[in-house]
Structure 1
Amino acid sequence: MNQSKINQSIKSLLLCITGFLMASGIASAQVDKNSELFKTLKAKDSILFKIGFNKCEVEKSAALMYDDLEFYHDKGGVTNSKDEFVKNMKNGLCRENNPEKVYRFLVEESLDVFPMFKNGKLYGALQNGKHFFSTDQSMTYKKSDNYALFSHLWIIENNEWKLKRVISYNHTAKEAGK
């Protein structure tokens, strides 16, 4: 299967899952951006990216992940475990003296969180958003042309939120604002 078909399949799968969850009532409407759940998962996003990705403190972000983490990336393929993810980060983006170091920035207003319940009890949440990337640590997204969308499936385990699945897709290089 070629890359274009794989990308389309991932997008279709994500849309189907989201649509099913919303239509079936399994997932309820997006939570308020001032809610405790939204703030908690936004803070987890900061640990994943501001610390783990941007500062390359990979172990801190890895602590938030399930061992069987699955990471689907429309340009980089599938990563099948937390260990594989950490190894890829340390040998790639976070390798020593990386001249191509890239920083990730969240488009703040794009972040949405959808709680997931079983028998009325919160067990997880889907976090969606848009982010951009730059080799400039102080970059603002209004100047960037390197955007992508993401969906994170967070599950509560022993009263802690842990990242179970990641879909990172629609990586583009467009002029800002278009």
Structure 2
Amino acid sequence: MNQSIKSLLLCSIGILISGIATAQVDKTSELFKTLKAKDSILFKIGFNKCKVEQSAALMFDDLEFYHDSSGFSNSKKEFIEAMKSGICKEDNPEKVYRFLVEESLEVFPMFDNGELYGALQNGKHFFSTDKSMTYENSDNYALFSHLWIIEDNEWKLKRVISYNHVSKE
């Protein structure tokens, strides 16, 4: 076997091994369960029940929130103010609720020299003014990516990308 083929083979094996090492964690793992619980605090409590301060505790002050149709927030403060004056406004006649598409949730750990420092959480969610809506009947859904970072042994939300908002109408 010539040297270039050996090099190509070794490079391919390295890529395969690195891909395996950074694959999605199992849905029964502690990391997956922890970040799924954080997602629940953000949305079931913060978004759906408008207890915004509880979800704010999970965010870095320099939170960046990117939304494909409503723009960009450059801080936790800005994001929380937008929540309070928008979706969680007291006199909001059409409160929208967020629901996770459970089977879509994925978590990818991030390491620095073998030490876990963060994770990327991806999934699909849908929105409705009807609390009993199911994904199959929903007409408004999107994809999301959350970058979680460990700070002082706590998971905190650093970046949010909410994209591909689609209406079936």
- Residue 89 of structure 2 aligns to which amino acid in structure 1? R
Other-structure match for 1:61: 55
Aligned-partner SS, 1:30? coil
Q: Distance in 1 between matches of 2:138 and 2:126?
A: 7
Change in Cα spacing, 1:68 to 1:23, as seen in structure 2 (3 Å) is farther
Other-structure match for 2:68: 74
User: Structure 2: which 5+ runs fail to align?
Assistant: 1-14
- Residue 137 of structure 1 aligns to which amino acid in structure 2? K
Other-structure match for 2:95: 101
Tell which structure's C-alpha radius of gyration is larger.
2
Aligned-partner SS, 2:33? helix
Q: Distance in 2 between matches of 1:136 and 1:23?
A: 45
Corresponding residue to 2:118 among 100, 107, 124: 124
Moved over 4 A (4+): 22-27
Q: Distance in 2 between matches of 1:120 and 1:108?
A: 29
Q: TM-score, normalised by structure 1?
A: 0.83
Corresponding residue to 1:156 among 130, 138, 150: 150
**Pairwise CA distance, 1:157:** 0.2
- Could you report, residue by residue, the CA deviation over 1:129-154 in whole angstroms, capped at 9, with x for unpaired residues? 00000000111111101010000000
Change in Cα spacing, 1:120 to 1:108, as seen in structure 2 (3 Å) is same
After the TM superposition, which of the residue ranges 22-31 and 71-80 deviates more from structure 2?
22-31
Other-structure match for 2:4: none
Other-structure match for 1:135: 129
- Residue 98 of structure 2 aligns to which amino acid in structure 1? R
The count of aligned residue pairs is 154
Does residue 40 in structure 1 map to residue 48 in structure 2? no
User: Structure 1: which 5+ runs fail to align?
Assistant: 1-21
Aligned-partner SS, 1:29? coil
Aligned-partner SS, 1:70? strand
Q: TM-score, normalised by structure 2?
A: 0.88
- Residue 115 of structure 1 aligns to which amino acid in structure 2? P
Aligned-partner SS, 2:123? strand
**Pairwise CA distance, 1:23:** 8.6
Q: Distance in 2 between matches of 1:66 and 1:24?
A: 33
